[in-house]
Chains A and B, each alone.
Chain A
Amino acid sequence: MLLVLDLESDIPIYTQLCNQIMIGIAKGELPPDESLPSVRQLAADLEINMHTVNKAYNILKNEGLIVIHKKRGAIVRKKEDMKADDAFSGDLSQRLEPIVAEAVCKGTTEKQFSHIISTLFATMKTGGTP
């Protein structure tokens, strides 16, 4: 899977890295059990600091999307291991709240918003060419 980081963006590099890997996992471009490059390797390939990669990997680990083995490095978890718990649903609603709020302020209707969401869900399913 190609990782492309916009270095002039306001979004921090580790967030971009996290988001892209997450999208890759959702789309199946990074299938379960796929190993990610080591922290050092990825930092070298992208010519960025190792701490940045480390930070991204740690966030993904805490989100439960990857596991970090001592020997095998970072590995995408199996689908059944990634299953959400109640805490995630609560967290999700909290994280969506400001986005929905902004949409409401700017006059986006619920229908328009739902349409965007379902389109996004569709790309996650159809884009799954590993």
Chain B
Amino acid sequence: MNAQIVMSVIHIPTLLLIYIVGVVTPYVTRKELVFSIRFPEAFAQSVQIQSLKRQYLVQYGITGGIVCIALVSAILLRPSLMLLIMSPLVQLGIVLVFFFISRKKAQTIKRSTDVTGGKKPVAITDTAFRKNAPLPSWLWFLVPWAIVVVNAVILFLAYDRIPEMIPMQYNFSGEVSRWAEKSIGQVLLMPGLMVVITLLMMAMFLGVKATKSQISAEKPGRSRYQNAHFRFHMAIFTIVLSILMNIIFTFTNLHITTLVKISFPIMLIFLAVILTGILIYALIFAIRVGQGGSRVEVSVVEEEETGNINRDDDGFWKAGLFYYNPDDPSLWVEHRFGFGYTINFGNKKSAWFIAVIVIIILLSFVPMLL
């Protein structure tokens, strides 16, 4: 199989996705957070702010688009490992540049205008938020765990049928570049990985459960509903993701152990389909639900504005991207620019989180170097 095709199958959709994410992000984040600067909702809908968003859309849309096309052509014409690693980073860099430019402008608007309009800044929450917003049962995780068990049983029963040499790594042409001798440990590696992934997804599920409710002080009724909706779908996302990941692992197991003959191109297409499916699911989720549920339509009667606004917490967001608030005991918080969650670096537990990420990155690079 042609190396270039294999590489583009996986890589080009990723590059396109990063570009699309960059385009839609200002529109899927909470309406009151404009490039990570907090505005009262009414002001955030003003012409001034809308045109700031449009400026970003045009400037990033064109620059990012040109860079994306350039990177895709480079990959098609002269593929290399360096390009593979660098191209998504270059794209992220461009998103960040335009983010910082727009954030600066938003800051200037906030400083030079009386955006609050005499409204009172408050902290707000609903004591019954969690009771009224139940999440799907964690028992759904029995499904991915069942897949793990089935895999372990299959590998155990079919141990004798597994060939003496197991392919461990493929190069871009689909040839095996590293083999491992068959051993119990080698065969158990895959179910082991599945256990780790499933535990990770369960941790994400619990993380969603633990995240704080973020209710708009201007329209608490609507915001409460939207936030509950968001959490529910986020929890479902972790369950679906754990099932899909385990299905990918099952196919990989069947492939490398040759228990079922699946050719490499078919395997690759299958992987690409599932991974693209996950990405499209995430994108549709982000666009339909929006960060914190901000895009969820609420059909209740239009509620009166309370005359309160959420307090200005811009200072806790370093560079608009990193949350540092030692007073806040929560570890997971909603992203201000983007979809999903980030961590509170002011929480002592965040050190553990960073350590785990570093270990995972190191572990995933070690086999590449070997």
Q: Tell me the A residues contacting B by CB distance below 8 Å.
A: 1-8, 24, 30, 34, 36-37, 40-50
B124 A5 Cβ-Cβ under 8 A: yes
Annotate B295-326 by CB proximity to A: 1 below 8 A, 0 otherwise. 00000000000101001010010000000010
| Inter-chain contact B329/A50, CB cutoff 8 Å | yes
Which of B121, B325, B330 is the one whose CB lies under 8 Å from A7?
B121
A-facing residues in B112-160 (Cβ within 8 Å): 120-130
B125 touching A46 by the CB < 8 A rule? yes
B47 to chain A, nearest CB (A): 29
Q: Determine whether the beta carbon of A44 is less than 8 Å from that of B126.
A: no
Q: Do A41 and B120 touch (CB < 8 A)? A: no
Cβ contact within 8 Å between A45 and B327: no
Closest 9 CB pairs of A and B: A45-B125, A44-B330, A44-B212, A46-B123, A5-B123, A49-B327, A45-B212, A40-B329, A47-B328
For this complex, 27 residue pairs linking A to B, each with C-beta atoms less than 8 Å apart, are A1-B126, A1-B127, A2-B125, A2-B220, A4-B122, A4-B306, A7-B121, A24-B127, A36-B127, A37-B129, A37-B130, A42-B125, A43-B328, A44-B328, A44-B329, A45-B125, A46-B123, A46-B124, A46-B125, A47-B311, A47-B313, A47-B325, A47-B327, A47-B328, A48-B123, A48-B327, A50-B329
CB distance from B126 to the nearest CB of A (A): 5
> Are A6 and B127 CB-contacts (below 8 A) given A45-B212, A47-B325?
no
B213 interface contact, C-beta 8 A: yes
Q: CB of B217 within 8 A of chain A? A: yes
Q: Interface range on chain B: under 10, 10 to 19, 20 to 34, or 35 or more?
A: 20 to 34
A5-B122, A8-B121, A44-B212 are known contacts. Are A30 and B328 too (CB-CB below 8 A)? no
Given contacts A5-B124, A42-B125, A43-B327, 14 further A-B contacts (CB under 8 A): A2-B215, A6-B120, A6-B122, A7-B122, A7-B123, A30-B127, A37-B125, A43-B329, A44-B330, A47-B123, A47-B316, A47-B328, A48-B328, A50-B329
